[in-house]
Amino acid sequence: MDTLTSQIADNYARVSKRIEEACRRVGRRSSEVRLVAVTKSADIRSIQALLTLGVRDLGESRPQKLCERAELLDQAVEWHLIGHLQRNKIRKVLPATSWIHSVDSLSLLRRLDVVAGELGLRRKVLLEVNVSGEKAKGGFEPSELLDVGPAVFAASHVEIAGLMTMAPWTDSPEAARPVFSGLRAIRDQLRQISSAAVLPELSMGMSGDFEVAVEEGATLVRVGTSLFEGLESHDA
């Protein structure tokens, strides 16, 4: 094993152990949590090293970069688009992705549904919710999502798999807990108002707060920096 792969293997083992310990604290199974490796500014060699460890869920925030890397990596990768998606990028992005975490409006969801139908594809999408209420963040407002809930679940060519949120940046992971518990509460409310709202997935938690997210029910954690730290090739 070369130095690069060894460093990434160590980082991956540490992140996996932290997920396992967070699950143990709340009586969950670690198999309930999927690690999405956010490649962002990692180079191809670093990503390939991660793939040799069995990681198959990769996340990118930029649609163009996701499409480029999906073409370069011919392994069985599930790509997750975790950043903003513009309507004019939908037709190019859909074939390359398995998951879209950032559906932030009813109009975007409806357009995704139409294009997925035209392309004969079915993709999993997550509804982004601005739980923290920060003006700089996108996503449905919680009250808005509860109001439009029935319309959301009318989609027929995409699977509404769950919800996603981002907590405010802070030095204290505990400060993110109300945001994560708030997303879970919104999911529970949606289940009450619509029989179609199964919503098994909660995408929440990044390198600075993913353990708290796991404790609050995250099924997808988006981790980049903790996986690639210590590598000169990574600046994310």
* Contact (CB, 8 A) for 194 and 149: yes
Q: Is residue 177 in a domain?
A: yes
User: pLDDT category, 112, cuts 50, 70, 90?
Assistant: very high
Q: Please give the pLDDT value at position 236.
A: 34
Sign, CA dihedral 204-29-162-103, equals positive
Q: For residue 234, is it within any domain?
A: no
Q: How far apart are CA 25 and CA 7, in angstroms?
A: 27
- Quick check: is 233 in a domain? no
pLDDT at residue 233 above 70? Answer: no
> If you average pLDDT over residues 187-195, what whole number do you get?
91
At residue 234, does pLDDT exceed 50?
Answer: no
Percent with pLDDT over 70 in the chain: 97
The count of structural domains within the chain is 1
Does the pLDDT of residue 70 top 90, yes or no? yes
Count other C-beta atoms under 10 Å from residue 23's C-beta. Answer: 18
The verdict on residue 235 lying in a domain is no
Residue 143 domain-assigned? yes
The domain that holds 83 is classified in CATH as 3.20.20.10
Task: Give the domain range for residue 47.
Answer: 3-228
Count the neighbouring beta carbons within 10 Å of the beta carbon of residue 173. 16
- Identify the band that residue 71 occupies on the pLDDT scale cut at 50, 70 and 90: very high
Q: Does the pLDDT value for residue 231 go beyond 80? A: no
Does any domain span residue 213? Answer: yes
Q: What distance in Å separates the CA atoms of residue 92 and residue 97, rounded to the nearest whole number?
A: 10
Residues 59/80, Cβ–Cβ less than 8 Å: yes
Task: Tell me how long the chain is.
Answer: 236
In a domain, 170, yes or no: yes
Which pLDDT does position 149 carry in this prediction? 85
The pTM of the full predicted model, rounded to 2 decimals, is 0.95
Task: Locate the DSSP E strands across the chain.
Answer: 34-38, 57-60, 78-81, 99-103, 123-128, 158-164, 201-203, 220-223
| DSSP 8-state secondary structure symbol assigned to residue 167 | P
Q: Which two tokens stand for residue 78?
A: 């599930």
Contact 27, 190 (CB under 8 A): no
pLDDT number for residue 232: 56
Tens-digit pLDDT profile for residues 123-168: 999 999 999 999 888 899 999 999 998 889 999 999 999 999 999 9
Give the pLDDT score at 22: 98
AA letter at 87: R
Contact 180, 213 (CB under 8 A): yes
Chain-centroid distance, C-alpha 63: 14
Position 66 in a domain: yes
